[in-house]
């Protein structure tokens, strides 16, 4: 069978199976009905969720808890407050976050339509396989998968770095004379990278669910405490005109427009990681219905909590220079000290976000291990069988690799923090592109395929589908452009942005891998094979696949 030359048909629910298979159970009322055109079919082996993964591990609430604790939008805004204040000022932070929230909402709504039909641990790259034209299916799917896993690796490194920064600020609040060498900072970073996955393996499936729920509650309590206590204890408050219209440009750029656009980057970064729910979908009992809802609520709650914390911080700033020149590393730490007048309170307000970001490392490595599991199952990786081996409910080899690669990337901190920041900027770009590809495919014929394949899917945007797809694609394109700009001017060797260099390097590596190895090895799964992960859980010995039908 040549998977490059044709589009596969979908298996209809209730279709008779070969004699060696048991008949499929009738779908529940809310399940998607899959339509195909009758033609010659052959039986092929379905994709299967590896043994050891609990297919009922995540309810909608626990899936939401994991995603919310991985994204940590309000914590990203706490850490990135200083960058936003010098690049555009309060107005860029506030309205940039509103803009990013709307665009990410459009993105998850776009994804929700596909998620409701093709729930798979592979996430975006299986969606790309299902929606791409037959001629380009293998290439587009493979690129999407590679970008997704690279983004997860570098996202884990970024989360570890930000957790390190929060811990250093916490130490400095309690010991203002403290200084840290690059080696000491990397030591803390390495400890955080090991700590998260170690907790994952020690707790097991049930323990991890309880941890996510507990941290979700702790996050909400901390948000409420910050929103109430900081403005209430502040000696004076900023005006509404400053918070919603204040403009600052301390970047060195002559253009206020560019400075303001640079201030949007923190808001764009604040939502990375919501795809964690896509990658645990094979561990949800009803992912087609519950998955899209869990992702949607993750974005909505993240937007509300992020905006509440952002406004609380900004209303407490009456002197930008004073906050930016803080000896406590982070402007947020200075705000806590100025308002509460208490080291203990400031310590708590820094400790909880630190723990949340350490948990974010755990969540991202957990997510990455499942993408590697899917890549191994699809024969993308060398020694494919080892990536599906599980220990205490986790794909253990993928988890190890998701620790090793960020540790290597983190070594760049020893040479230049600016270079490491450029690496994380590149991570954001490749991550965002993996989000945009499914939305772009929906605009280029994918919506017609999806409508023919699953008219009764649980998530259907109808006439709002195309506008949401357009917003999602545009947001990624403009974010990619802005991330390539140097953060400050004039550009020096220590301050220049290496984002273009890193992205170009990734592109060159992927081009070499595809042309020399992957194009001969990778055959993207058909729609029916992807559907077998959900519709045929352990009940089918094979799925029906058609080489000729175009959907």
**CA trace torsion 534, 535, 540, 541 (10° rounding):** -50
348 is a domain residue: yes
Count the residues in the chain: 551
Q: Taking 80 as the threshold, does the pLDDT of residue 494 lie above it?
A: no
Q: Which structural domain range is residue 185 located in?
A: 61-537
Q: Which residues contact residue 269 at a Cβ distance below 8 angstroms, ignoring those fewer than 6 apart? A: 76, 80, 428
Supply 20's token pair.
């060696």
Q: How confident is the model at residue 538 (pLDDT cuts 50, 70, 90)?
A: very low
Q: Taking 50 as the threshold, does the pLDDT of residue 539 lie above it?
A: no
Range name among 12-16, 384-388, 451-455 with the lowest pLDDT average: 12-16
Q: Taking 90 as the threshold, does the pLDDT of residue 12 lie above it?
A: no
| pLDDT top residue among 428 and 508 | 508
Number of other CB atoms surrounding residue 252 within 10 Å? 14
Helix (H, G, I), strand (E, B) or coil at 496: coil
346 is a domain residue: yes
Q: According to the model, what pLDDT value does residue 108 have?
A: 95
Range 170-179 burial, b when 16+ CB lie within 10 A, else e: bbbbeeeeee
What is the C-alpha to C-alpha distance for residues 288 and 115, in angstroms, rounded to an integer? 6
Looking only at the bridges linking them, the beta strands covering 248-249 and 390-391 are unpaired
3-state helix, strand, coil in the chain (%, to 5): 65, 5, 30
23 is a domain residue: no
235 is a domain residue: yes
- For helices 137-174 and 124-131, the axis angle rounded to 10 degrees is 160
Q: How confident is the model at residue 48 (pLDDT cuts 50, 70, 90)?
A: confident
548 is a domain residue: no
Asked if the bond preceding 223 is cis, omega within 30° of 0, the reply is: no
**CA trace torsion 253, 256, 260, 261 (10° rounding):** -70
User: Cα 431 to chain center, whole Å?
Assistant: 7
What is the C-alpha to C-alpha distance for residues 207 and 220, in angstroms, rounded to an integer? 20
User: Cα 543 to chain center, whole Å?
Assistant: 31
Q: Taking 90 as the threshold, does the pLDDT of residue 348 lie above it?
A: yes
Q: Taking 50 as the threshold, does the pLDDT of residue 518 lie above it?
A: yes
Q: According to the model, what pLDDT value does residue 451 have?
A: 84
Convert the pLDDT of each residue in 279-294 to its tens digit. Answer: 999 889 899 999 999 9
Q: According to the model, what pLDDT value does residue 5 have?
A: 39
Q: What is the average pLDDT value for the chain, to the nearest integer?
A: 84
Range name among 249-253, 394-398, 464-468 with the lowest pLDDT average: 249-253
| DSSP conformational letter for 286 | S
Q: According to the model, what pLDDT value does residue 45 have?
A: 60
Helix (H, G, I), strand (E, B) or coil at 87: strand
Range name among 99-108, 363-372, 407-416 with the lowest pLDDT average: 407-416
389 is a domain residue: yes
CB 303 within 8 A of CB 94: no
Q: According to the model, what pLDDT value does residue 409 have?
A: 87
CB 402 within 8 A of CB 152: yes
What's the total number of domains in the chain? Answer: 1
Q: How confident is the model at residue 46 (pLDDT cuts 50, 70, 90)?
A: low
What is the C-alpha to C-alpha distance for residues 540 and 398, in angstroms, rounded to an integer? 27
Percent of the chain with pLDDT over 90: 47
CATH number of domain containing 527: 1.20.1740.10
13 is a domain residue: no
| DSSP conformational letter for 7 | -
Q: How confident is the model at residue 491 (pLDDT cuts 50, 70, 90)?
A: confident
384 is a domain residue: yes
Q: According to the model, what pLDDT value does residue 495 have?
A: 67
| pLDDT top residue among 167 and 445 | 167
Residue 270 phi, psi (nearest 5): -65, -15
Its sign, for the CA torsion 169, 171, 177, 178, is negative
What is the C-alpha to C-alpha distance for residues 501 and 397, in angstroms, rounded to an integer? 30
What is the C-alpha to C-alpha distance for residues 240 and 91, in angstroms, rounded to an integer? 11
Range name among 277-286, 444-453, 532-541 with the lowest pLDDT average: 532-541
Q: What is the DSSP string of 160-218?
A: HHHHHHHHHHHHHHH-TT----HHHHHHHHHHHHHHHHHHHHHHHHHHHHHHHHHHHHH
């Amino acid at each position: 069978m040549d998977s490059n030359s044709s589009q596969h048909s979908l298996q209809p629910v209730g279709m008779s199976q070969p004699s060696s298979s048991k008949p499929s159970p009738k779908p529940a009322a809310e399940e998607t009905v899959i339509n195909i055109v009758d033609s010659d079919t052959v039986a092929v082996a379905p994709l299967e969720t590896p043994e050891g993964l609990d297919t009922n591990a995540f309810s909608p609430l626990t899936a939401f808890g994991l995603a919310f604790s991985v994204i940590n939008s309000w914590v990203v805004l706490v850490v990135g407050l200083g960058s936003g204040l010098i690049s555009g000022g309060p107005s860029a932070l506030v309205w940039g976050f509103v803009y990013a929230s709307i665009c990410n909402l459009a993105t998850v709504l776009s994804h929700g339509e596909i998620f409701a039909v093709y729930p798979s641990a592979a996430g975006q790259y299986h969606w790309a396989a299902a929606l791409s034209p037959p001629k380009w299916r293998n290439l587009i799917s493979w690129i999407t998968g590679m970008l997704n896993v690279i983004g997860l690796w570098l996202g884990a490194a970024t989360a570890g770095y930000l957790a390190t920064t929060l811990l250093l600020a916490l130490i400095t609040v309690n010991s203002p004379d403290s200084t840290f060498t690059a080696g000491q900072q990397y030591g803390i970073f390495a400890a955080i990278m090991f700590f998260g996955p170690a907790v994952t393996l020690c707790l097991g499936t049930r323990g991890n669910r309880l941890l996510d729920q507990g941290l979700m509650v702790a996050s909400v309590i901390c948000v409420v405490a910050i929103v109430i206590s900081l403005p209430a204890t502040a000696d004076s408050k900023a005006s509404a005109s400053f918070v919603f219209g204040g403009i600052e440009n301390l970047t060195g750029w002559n253009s206020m427009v560019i400075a303001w656009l640079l201030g949007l980057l923190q808001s764009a970064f604040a939502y990375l990681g919501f795809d964690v729910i896509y990658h645990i979908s094979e561990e949800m009992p009803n992912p087609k219905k519950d998955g899209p809802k869990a992702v949607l609520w993750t974005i909505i709650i993240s937007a509300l909590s992020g905006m509440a914390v952002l406004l609380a911080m900004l209303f407490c700033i009456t002197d930008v220079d004073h906050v930016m020149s803080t000896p406590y590393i982070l402007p947020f730490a200075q705000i806590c000290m100025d308002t509460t007048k208490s080291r203990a309170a400031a310590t708590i307000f820094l400790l909880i976000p630190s723990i949340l970001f350490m948990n974010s490392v755990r969540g991202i490595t957990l997510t990455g291990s499942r993408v590697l599991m899917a890549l191994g199952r699809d024969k993308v990786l060398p020694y494919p069988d080892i990536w599906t081996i599980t220990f205490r409910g986790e794909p253990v080899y993928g988890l190890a690799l998701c620790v090793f690669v960020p540790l290597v990337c983190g070594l760049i901190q020893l040479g230049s923090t600016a270079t490491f920041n450029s690496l994380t900027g590149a991570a954001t770009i490749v991550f965002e592109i993996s989000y945009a590809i499914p939305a772009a495919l929906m605009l280029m014929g994918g919506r017609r395929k999806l409508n023919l394949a699953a008219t009764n899917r649980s998530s259907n945007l109808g006439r709002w589908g195309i506008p949401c797809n357009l917003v999602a694609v545009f947001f990624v394109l403009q974010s990619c452009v802005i991330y390539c700009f140097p953060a400050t001017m004039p550009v020096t060797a220590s301050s220049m942005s290496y984002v273009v260099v890193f992205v170009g390097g990734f592109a060159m590596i992927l081009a070499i891998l595809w042309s020399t190895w992957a194009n001969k090895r990778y055959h993207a799964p058909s729609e029916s094979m992807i559907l077998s992960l959900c519709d045929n859980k352990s009940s089918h010995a094979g799925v029906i696949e058609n080489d000729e039908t175009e959907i």
